[in-house]
Amino acid sequence: MFCRKCGKEMKPNEKFCPSCGAKVETEETVQAGSSVTDAAPNIVGTLPEKKKYPVKTVVIAIVVVVFAVILVSVLSSGNGKAKDEDYISAAETIISKQLKAPSTAIYSDENIEAQDDYGRTIVSLTVESQNSFGGYVTNTCYVLIESYDTEEDTFTYNAATGVYISDFGDSFSDTYISRLKESTDWNKPSDE
């Protein structure tokens, strides 16, 4: 026998549910040809109601999940600001276009030398590659990236004044960095 209110199993002769305390409803039945009245508990009942969540709670939960997904997406995209790796990759692309055998290039010592408040970045890197005679040459290169668009994954630079390739290693790095800064409006807003 089961309680009509909470659905818990009960012993046959109990008058109250031991779980929820509800009174057991009984039906009087008369056996045919007998005057004896038996009290039989009513075993027909309903299961307890399932917990329902208010619509407001469900809507709030959905809004919180959507907000969390958007927040994670924005944080993982870097808010549209280019990373150091983006500038270094752009500098390698620029230098590889000037090499005789770009497929032989080995890049090392990549550094961000300077950045201004408007996205201009000077990158230095060392490249070892084959020259036109088949020998390997090592150069230190300085590249000024004028801007980097993370949405389009494109960059701009001035091919005439934005690149210095040195056979002297780091000996003149301060000079090259100063010249690159002078070749642009360093720390001034762009005209765009």
Domain boundaries, given as residue ranges, for the chain: 1-51, 52-81, 82-182
Would the pLDDT of 41 be above 60?
no
Q: Decide if 142 contacts 124 (C-beta within 8 A).
A: yes
pLDDT of 39: 47
pLDDT, tens digit, 9 for 90 and up, residues 95-151: 999 888 999 999 999 999 999 988 899 999 999 999 888 899 999 999 999 989 888
| Furthest C-alpha separation in the chain | 123
How far apart CA 132 and CA 134 sit, in angstroms, is 6
Residue 104: which region, alpha, beta or left (left: phi > 0; alpha: psi -120 to 50)?
Answer: alpha
Residue 74: its pLDDT value, please?
61
Share of the chain above pLDDT 90, in %: 30
Instruction: Compute φ and ψ for 54, nearest 5 degrees.
Output: -65, 150
Q: What is the pLDDT of residue 44?
A: 55
- Write down the architecture of domain 82-182 according to CATH: Roll (3.10)
H helix count then E strand count, the chain: 3, 8
**C-alpha–C-alpha distance, residues 32 and 48, integer Å:** 35
pTM, two decimals, is 0.56
SS3 call for 148: strand
Contact assessment for residue 126 and residue 139, using Cβ atoms and an 8 Å cutoff: yes
- Give pLDDT, residue 28: 44
